[in-house]
């Protein structure tokens, strides 16, 4: 990309809005060496408080498939940061399935479109998670300092961009002081605000499994079940369950070869899973009434070890198979629908088994209890620092100033494809 000098900060802005004044389209903030005899070479300014910051963002102005609607927009950010705002440089930003669904227009939260960063038509920046570096701080900000890291305190910030101005920074961001970065990586911190927190709340808010462990009198932890066990939430639930002394029955899809399936089972076992089975095994006739307890749960009875909690992110027949394993009075919590199939519940499970079915969306929970959300994130970060919680495998995509738009589009489009080696994460270099 051709480099340019940017317009000095002392030139007047055309808007009275402090936040809007911090953003300028790149085409309005460049001058060339021909326009000034003092400018001998072209330079692209990077982040800093003494000149406009050139930035890039993935944007979309209408919903649709990522490859069709996403484009890269270049703009400039004024060094005049509003009093309650901060200027951030993105270090890492995950590509979650929910982000892709938002671009497609199929997610529960619909995107909002604006021309704040100077796009030709109102657009939205996708992305719900990220780890940022604080570059410049407004005079009224009290919780963040330059050099700190920061995470979104709630979804909707728009994180697939090299830089961002964030208003109301004290409430919009969770800060990580620069003296508390040891033990953290940008990739790990960037993935701490959704999946681990979702697992945490589902394991704690529906059934008191810790109390159930005490009441059992067996000296062993209570059990829970889950499908999608190799997902980000699934891996988090395995680790948190182990930390809390719980035992888990984990369901995964079989891989292309028996060897690959065995490797995945071993990987989750090493992470702390008690039992790992495939969806095919779960669907075997008589599994819930026979093999489950006799073989996998060591012969423990319903009275000794009731199965009262199941976590479902798949839907369809795999979810029904999970429900059949629950003890009377058990609860299934659904937080995803990867199979894109409805969850059909026989009346008998409701009438004779007294099972109950719940939906959980961490974004909604966080809006109801923002302080609880922040506390959960901070606790997960503490576990990461001490090595008690490990982020899932990552499939990183470097984002430099010269990374082609097609590379970024493909990284997003491939998020929902089949088996993946890890979560897609944009890692920002030289921006």
- In the block, tokens 């990580």 appear at 176
Q: Could you tell me which residues come within 8 angstroms of residue 162 by beta carbon, excluding any fewer than 6 positions away?
A: 55, 56, 57, 89, 90, 399, 401, 428, 431
CA distance 366 to 91: 24
Over residues 247-252, mean pLDDT: 98
Q: Which among 76, 72, 60 has a CA at the least distance from the CA of 125?
A: 60
Higher pLDDT, 429 or 30: 429
User: Where residue 363 falls among pLDDT bands split at 50, 70, 90?
Assistant: very high
Please calculate the CA angle 174-180-185 and round it to the nearest 5 degrees: 80
Give, for 366, the enclosing helix (H) or strand (E).
helix 362-368
Alpha-carbon distance values, 228 to 84, 189, 319, 338 (Å): 41, 22, 10, 9
Strands 163-166, 307-312: pairing kind: unpaired
Q: What CA–CA distance (Å, rounded) separates 148 from 284? A: 52
Is 413:69 a contact under the CB 8 Å cutoff?
no
Instruction: Give me the pLDDT at residue 24, please.
Output: 53
Q: Between 406 and 216, name the one with better pLDDT.
A: 406
Q: What is the pLDDT of residue 3?
A: 37
Lowest mean pLDDT among 19-33, 110-124, 270-284, 345-359: 19-33
SS3 416: helix
Which pLDDT score is estimated for 12?
A: 36
Q: How many residues can be counted in the chain? A: 431
Q: Strand pairing of 356-359 and 30-31?
A: unpaired
Distance, CA of 403 to CA of 162 (rounded, Å): 12
Predicted local distance difference test score (pLDDT) of residue 288 = 87
The pLDDT confidence band at residue 290, using thresholds 50, 70 and 90, is: confident
Are the C-beta atoms of residues 60 and 104 closer than 8 Å to each other? no
- Model confidence at 42: pLDDT above 80: no
Distance, in Å, from the CA atom of 7 to the CA atom of 29, rounded to the nearest integer, reads 5
Q: What is the DSSP string of 224-293?
A: EEESSTTSHHHHHHHHHHHHTT-EEEEEE---SSHHHHHHHHHHHHHHT-SEEEEHHHHTSTTIIIIIII
Average pLDDT over residues 65-86: 94
**Is the Cα dihedral 319, 324, 329, 330 positive or negative?**
negative
Q: What is the DSSP letter of 108?
A: S
The position carrying tokens 């307890």 is 293
Token code pair at residue 144? 């963040």
- Specify the pLDDT at position 18: 53
Report the catalytic residues. Answer: 107
**pLDDT the model gives residue 304:** 87
Selection from 312, 339, 335, 325 nearest residue 283 by Cα:
325
Q: Is the pLDDT of residue 113 over 80?
A: yes
Q: Which of 270-284, 285-299, 313-327 bottoms out in mean pLDDT, i.e. has the lowest? A: 285-299
Query: pLDDT band at 415, cuts 50/70/90?
Result: confident
What pLDDT, in 10s, does the model give residues 267-285? 999 999 999 999 999 999 8
Q: Give the pLDDT band (50/70/90) at residue 396.
A: very high
Is 414 buried (19+), middle (13-18) or exposed (0-12) by CB count in 10 A?
middle
Tell me the β-bridge partners of 24.
76
CB-based contact 410:67 (threshold 8 Å):
yes
Average pLDDT over residues 304-323: 95
What domains can you pick out in the chain, each with its CATH number? Answer: 5-191+394-428 (3.90.180.10), 195-363 (3.40.50.720)
Quick one: pLDDT at residue 376? 97
Of the given ranges (27-36, 199-208, 311-320, 378-387), which has the lowest mean pLDDT?
27-36
At 419, the pLDDT band (50, 70, 90 cuts) reads low
- How confident is the model over 122-136, as a mean pLDDT? 97
């Amino acid at each position: 990309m051709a480099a340019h000098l940017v317009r000095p900060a002392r030139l007047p802005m055309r808007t009275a809005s402090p936040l809007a004044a911090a953003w300028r389209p790149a085409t309005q903030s460049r001058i060339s060496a021909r326009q000034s005899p003092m400018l001998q070479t072209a330079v692209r300014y990077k982040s800093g408080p003494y000149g406009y910051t050139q930035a890039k963002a993935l944007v979309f102005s209408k919903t649709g498939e990522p490859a069709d609607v996403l484009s890269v927009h270049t703009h400039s950010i004024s060094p005049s940061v509003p009093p309650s705002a901060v200027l951030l440089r993105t270090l890492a930003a995950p590509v979650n399935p929910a982000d892709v669904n938002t671009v497609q227009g199929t997610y529960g939260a619909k995107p909002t479109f604006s021309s704040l960063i100077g796009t030709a038509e109102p657009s939205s920046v996708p992305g719900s998670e990220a780890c940022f570096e604080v570059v410049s701080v407004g005079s009224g900000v009290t919780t963040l300092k330059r050099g700190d890291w920061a995470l979104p305190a709630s979804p909707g910030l728009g994180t697939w961009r090299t830089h961002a101005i964030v208003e109301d920074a004290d409430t919009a961001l969770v800060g990580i002081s620069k003296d508390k970065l040891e033990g953290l990586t940008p990739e790990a911190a960037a993935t701490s605000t959704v999946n681990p927190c979702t697992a945490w709340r589902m394991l704690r808010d529906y059934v008191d499994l810790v109390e159930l462990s005490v009441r059992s009198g067996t000296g062993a932890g209570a059990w829970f079940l889950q499908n999608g066990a190799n997902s980000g939430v699934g891996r988090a639930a395995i680790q948190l369950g182990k930390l809390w002394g719980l035992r888990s029955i984990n369901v995964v899809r079989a891989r292309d070869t028996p060897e690959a399936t065995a490797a995945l089972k071993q990987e989750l076992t090493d992470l702390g899973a008690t039992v790992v089975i495939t969806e095919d095994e779960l669907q075997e006739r008589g599994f819930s009434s026979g093999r489950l307890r006799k073989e996998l749960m060591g012969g423990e009875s319903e009275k000794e070890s009731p199965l009262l909690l199941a976590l479902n992110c798949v839907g369809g027949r795999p979810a029904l198979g999970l429900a059949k394993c629950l003890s009377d009075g058990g609860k299934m919590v659904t937080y995803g629908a990867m199979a894109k199939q409805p969850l059909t519940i026989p009346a008998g499970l409701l009438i004779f088994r007294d099972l109950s079915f719940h939906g959980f969306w961490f974004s909604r929970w966080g809006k109801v209890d923002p302080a609880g959300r922040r506390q959960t994130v901070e606790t997960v970060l503490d576990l990461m620092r001490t090595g008690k919680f490990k982020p899932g495998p990552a499939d990183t995509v470097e984002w430099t100033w010269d990374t082609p738009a097609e590379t970024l589009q493909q990284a997003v489009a491939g998020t929902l494809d089949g088996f993946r080696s890890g979560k897609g994460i944009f890692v920002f270099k030289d921006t």
